[in-house]
Amino acid sequence: MLSYERLSRKPKIFRSFTGLDVSEFDEVYDVLESQYHDFERKRLSREGKRKNEIGGGRPFKLELEDRLLVLLVYYRLYVTSTLAGFLFDVDHSTVLRDTHMLEPLVRDCLPLPKKIQRLTRRLRTIEEVEEFFPGVKAFIDSTEQEIPRPKKDAKKRKTHYSGKKRRHTVKTQLTVNSNGLIVHKTNHARGRRHDLDLYREHHPPLPKEVEQDFDRGYDGVRKYFPDLKCAIPFKRRGRGRGHRGEKAEDLTPEQKEFNRQLSSERVVVEHTISRMKKFRIMADEFRNRLKGYDAMTDIVSGLVNLRILGK
């Protein structure tokens, strides 16, 4: 049977199972424990939804520390609830119920992108901006995750089909600074939407001094945001109508060098996405209901931010 007491004795395995070091887990748990009493009081005193008196109903089988461990193991490994229940010697329904109840509190205890975003709105001087955005740059990209093929909703099968992935997916846009810290995250969008279309509707409200760096998927962003300070890689372009089949002109050496430099700087956002996808719940096909998808990405991005801020 897995437990915090047993797993924490083996730090390497603990990190492999949870995505956090033991010290990082303890940091999250201390904040969680300090807020848990008020959280439970509000949850139990909700009006009009209780069937039993406060104090009635089934008690939690696992301690708070182990319930947090269950949630992190579930997110990191994304095993079935039946297997997770077997590992912790509880029923699979207990795993789902405990993780569902604990998710809102865990979100409050982590450095979520929306919390970071609130801090960026308070930046006034260029020195404050440079401290928060090293190099005065931010990097934007989108990531997709496969979902099961919708069986009953023909419209959803069409809107969520990604031509790029050849799968039904949902898409999330991220904005990170030069350290990889996630400063903005959108809610999920249907996989068919273009990156530029998603940015047009949900562009991050960053300080105007910050340069936003894109990949080729955002080609044309200056058309919609002419005053935006940004960098976009050069792209080979054909001569247009009447010249079909003709090869587009090659980029100049200066343009190729600019693309290489931009790509080497933008790799930080790719590394951040890779960190998020180490939590298998965001890398494998998402088996849970989509209404809980944004809460899941909030927690994963908060865990990634926690590790980056701790370095």
What digits encode the pLDDT tens for the residues 36-52?
A: 888 888 877 765 666 66
pLDDT in tens, 160-200: 888 787 888 999 999 999 999 999 999 998 888 888 999 99
pLDDT in tens, 107-131: 999 999 999 988 888 888 888 888 8
Would you tell me which CATH number, out of the four given (3.30.1330.10, 3.40.50.720, 3.30.420.10, 3.40.50.300), belongs to the domain 113-237+249-309? 3.30.420.10
Which is more confident, 157 or 267? 267
Q: Where in the chain is the domain with CATH 3.30.420.10?
A: 113-237+249-309
Q: What is the Cα–Cα distance from 15 to 220, expressed in whole angstroms?
A: 42
Do 175 and 140 meet the contact criterion of CB atoms below 8 Å apart? Answer: yes
Q: Rounded to two decimals, what is the model's pTM?
A: 0.90
Q: What is the Cα–Cα distance from 72 to 207, expressed in whole angstroms?
A: 34
Phi, psi for 230 (deg, rounded to 5): -150, 170
Do 182 and 272 meet the contact criterion of CB atoms below 8 Å apart? Answer: yes
Q: What is the Cα–Cα distance from 81 to 288, expressed in whole angstroms?
A: 11
137 pLDDT band (50/70/90 cuts)? Answer: very high
pLDDT in tens, 180-190: 999 999 999 88
Mention every residue, 6+ apart, whose C-beta is less than 8 A from residue 110: 28, 298, 299, 302, 303, 305, 306
Q: Which of 23-27, 125-129, 154-158, 246-250 has maximum average pLDDT?
A: 23-27
243 pLDDT band (50/70/90 cuts)? Answer: low
Q: Please give the full DSSP string across the chain, using - where no structure is assigned.
A: ---HHHHTTSHHHHHHHHSS-HHHHHHHHHHHHHHHHHHHHHHHT-TT--SS-TT-SPPPSS-HHHHHHHHHHHHHH---HHHHHHHHTS-HHHHHHHHHHHHHHHHHHS--HHHHHHHHTT--SHHHHHHHSGGGEEEEEEEEEE-PPPSS-HHHHHHTEETTTTEEEEEEEEEE-TT--EEEEPPPEETTS-HHHHHHHS-----TTSEEE--GGGTTHHHH-TT--EE---------TT-TTPPPPPPPHHHHHHHHHHHHHHHHHHHHHHHHHTSGGGTS---S-GGGHHHHHHHHHHHHHHHHHT-
pLDDT higher than 70, residue 57: no
pLDDT higher than 70, residue 309: yes
Mean of all residue pLDDT scores within the chain: 88
159 pLDDT band (50/70/90 cuts)? Answer: confident
Find where tokens 């993780």 sit: 99
In this prediction, residues 266-284 reach a mean pLDDT of: 94
